Amino acid sequence: MESCCRSCMPCLNRLWNYIWPDFRYPNVPNHNHVIANPAAQTAEIRTVSGDIRVPSPKKRPVQLYAALFDFEARSDDELTVKEGDKLSVIEKRGEYVLAKKLTGSLESGLIPANYVALLQDEFAKHKWYYGNINRVKAEKLLLASQNKDGSFLVRISESHSDEYTISTRSEGKVYHFRIQRSTIGAYFVSDKVSFATLGELISYYQKNPRSLGVLLEEPCAQQRELFDMEPWERPREEFRLHKKLGEGHFGEVWEALWTTENRKVAIKTLKQEDTKQDEFVKEVQALKSLHHPKLIQLLAMCSRGEPVYIVTELMSKGSLKSYLASAEGQVLTSAHLIYMGSQIAEGMAYLEDRNIVHRDLAARNILVGEDLVCKVADFGLARIIKDSVYTARSNTKIPVRWTLRRPRYYNASLREI
Cβ contact 294:374 at 8 Å: yes
According to DSSP, residue 115 is labeled: G
- Measured CA to CA, the distance from residue 224 to residue 132 in angstroms comes to 12
- Measured CA to CA, the distance from residue 395 to residue 406 in angstroms comes to 17
Of 360, 371, 378, 387, the catalytic one is: 360
Active site residue 387: no
SS3 content of the chain, % helix, strand, coil (to 5): 25, 25, 45
CA 83 from centroid of its chain's CA atoms: 17
Cβ contact 403:322 at 8 Å: no
Q: Kindly compute the dihedral angle of the four CA atoms of residues 360, 361, 364, 367, in this order, to the nearest 10 degrees.
A: 120
For the stretch 262-266, contacts whose Cβ atoms lie closer than 8 Å and that sit 24 or more positions apart, written own/partner, are 264/314, 265/239, 265/299, 265/311, 265/312, 265/313, 265/314, 266/296, 266/311, 266/312, 266/313, 266/314, 266/315
- Measured CA to CA, the distance from residue 275 to residue 61 in angstroms comes to 47
Q: Helix, strand, or coil here: 332? A: coil
In 3D space, the residue among 109, 118, 119, 120 whose CA is nearest the CA of residue 71 turns out to be 109
In 3D space, the residue among 280, 277, 314 whose CA is nearest the CA of residue 297 turns out to be 314
H or E segment at 281? helix 277-288
H or E segment at 321? helix 320-325
- Measured CA to CA, the distance from residue 311 to residue 304 in angstroms comes to 14
268 labelled as ligand-binding?
yes
- Cα dihedral across residues 322, 323, 328, 330: positive or negative: negative
Catalytic residues: 360
Binding-site residue numbers are 268
Binding-site residue numbers for ATP are 268
